[in-house]
Chains A and B, each alone.
Chain A
Amino acid sequence: MKRSYEEINEKIKQGDAVVMTAEEIIEVVEREGVEQATKEVDVVTTGTFGAMCSSGVFLNFGHSEPPIKMTKAWLNGVPAYTGLAAVDAYIGATEPREDGNLDYGGAHVIEDLIAGRPVRLRATAHGTDCYPRREIDTYVSLDTLNQAYMFNPRNAYQNYGVATNSSERTLFTYMGKLLPKYGNASYSSAGQLSPLLNDPHLRTIGIGTRIFLGGAQGYVAWEGTQYRTTTPERNGVPTGASRNLAVVGDLREMSTDFIRALDFQKYGVSLGVGVGVPIPILDEEMMKCVSIRDDQIFAPVLDYAVQSRTRKPMKEVSYAELRSGSIELAGKKVRTSSLSSYAKAKQIAELLKKQMLEGEFLLTRPVAMLPTERAQKPLDLHSREEVA
């Protein structure tokens, strides 16, 4: 059977659409089979909430009197990028405070703005004929800004590695605190609830797809950075980091429930971002995709004691094993921790479902599809001639 975006949207508007979360659908497909489930269900919602370092916010401060073309700017002491027009800036999530204080950074500025808290803005400038002012020290808040929109170049990774540590010392990484001698292992995907694992070849997710972003209705803007399609597959889904999304959304509609500053000790700051994507059940093939279970999704276990980009996976483990609380590594039972919140992933999928049942969230057909073939290149040392 086939179903169109238009048909589904009509049903959503009428309040007749049947929507289920990617977790709920598993049981339905097991009970009734793919064919019957396809007939019954129009949309399956997904969700994920995890540390997404490649995130940040574009801001326009408005013009001061006299005007300034900001050369350098700081928000609560955190440098913002101002190599744009006069009072435009980008505050990156992982930017640390300049005073060396590693536990407050761009992510905290973003969370403070969403929470409606005042943020101190300091900026300096060279001064020009058209922008004579040379410095400003003031307070801004979400209310005083013109535009404030999140633009995250890499979110919602399709699967990711599992981190562990064979060395004699504790490692402090973006995958959390890794205890010595395989003392623990951390992972970071919502597995069966994760957006891109439910549409593994991005048949329905592309540029312009409306998504849940941090509580707002946002959009897919582009392929994410380090997007790649070359990761080997098992059960139809990649067995490691693969595709991801560049996303955009209005900070004013976001909530600190779904955007949260995170601090990784001795690594730095990151941003917890909640993303949800509705998957239209266009046909049986889509239903098959969304019925994927944690025991069918595998991730490579990587030893972060190896400080190289070419870490060889120790083994592959399923998300069912990871979620059980421990995995077996080097002949030892190793306890696992998730870095992404499954509780929040569920909450996002359920919220998205509710919004669709109430007619508040409509599907969009992608304006253009994301690449079907993309390899990831490394950064090597080259002479000018070699890259010319």
Chain B
Amino acid sequence: MPIRKFLLTFNPEIVSEPITYRIVKDFDLMINILRAEIDEQGGRLMIAFEGNGPQIQKAVRYLEDSGVQVQELKEFIRKDDNRCTNCGMCISICPVSAYQMDKKTWKVIFLNEKCIACGMCIDACPPGAIKLRAQI
């Protein structure tokens, strides 16, 4: 089942709509809320959808029709491989094991598809090799 991640931006008028409920119920998708934020400007929700491809497409269309701004997130984090010393400090920090040590080369591999953009690795990286690409 494909997993796709989106940043949803709501204006204040639709903040109270139960959209995550509708996505689960009407489109049969598994959702994982990665981050959520509401203030006077509206709300922002970083969310992962897991389900079959056409259903995800339909859900995105529903969201757009409801006035939600939808931006697909493909890359949250970028690791600068020239700056990275391959120490591995990020490995035990990452809650979803998006960083792994390649035991053959002893180099750190970043698995973008696992990343949930929590940002915990960024200030844990001693040489400053990790940067956040998508801001929320």
Contact = CB atoms under 8 A, between A and B. Distances in A.
A46 interface: no
B127 interface: yes
Nearest to A263: B128
B124 to A, nearest CB: 4
Interface residues of B, number: 19
B122 to A, nearest CB: 9
B87 A179 contact: no
B16 interface: no
Interface stretch (B30-38, B56-64, B71-79, B89-97): B89-97
A346 to B, nearest CB: 6
Contacts of A227: none
Given A260-B85, A343-B106, A343-B107, A336 B92 contact: yes
Given A261-B127, A263-B128, A337 B86 contact: no
Contact of B90 (A50, A337, A340, A346): A337
B101 interface: yes
A335 B101 CA distance: 12
B88 interface: yes
A176 B124 contact: yes
Nearest to A176: B89
A226 interface: no
Nearest to B129: A260
A313 interface: no
B105 interface: yes
A344 B86 contact: yes
A186 B126 contact: no
A61 interface: no
A186 B126 CA distance: 13
Contacts of B126: 51, 176, 262-264, 270, 272, 339
Interface residues of A, number: 32
Contact of A185 (B92, B106, B123, B128): B92
Contacts of A334: 92
A272 B89 contact: no
Contacts of B107: 343
A336 to B, nearest CB: 6
Interface in A91-120: 103
Nearest to B107: A343
A335 to B, nearest CB: 4
Dominant SS among interface residues on chain A:
strand
Interface in A183-223: 183-186
Nearest to A269: B126
B85 A341 contact: yes
Contact of A186 (B85, B89, B106, B127): B89
A335 B123 contact: no
Interface in A126-172: none
Interface in A316-354: 325, 334-344, 346
B121 to A, nearest CB: 9
B105 A339 contact: no
Contacts of A179: 92-93
Contacts of A272: 85, 126-127
A339 B92 contact: no
Interface string A256-281: 00001111110000101000000000
A381 B126 CA distance: 34
Contacts of B88: 337-338, 341-342
Contact of B87 (A184, A185, A341): A341
Contact of A343 (B92, B105, B123, B127): B105
A69 interface: no
Given A263-B128, A325-B101, A342-B106, A184 B86 contact: no
B86 A343 contact: yes
B89 A337 contact: yes
B89 A177 contact: yes
A337 B97 CA distance: 12
Interface of B: 85-93, 101, 105-107, 120, 123-124, 126-128
7 contacts: A50-B87, A177-B89, A185-B92, A262-B126, A263-B127, A337-B88, A341-B86
Interface of A: 49-51, 103, 176-177, 179, 183-186, 260-265, 270, 272, 325, 334-344, 346
Closest 6 CB pairs of A and B: A184-B92, A262-B126, A335-B92, A337-B92, A343-B86, A265-B123
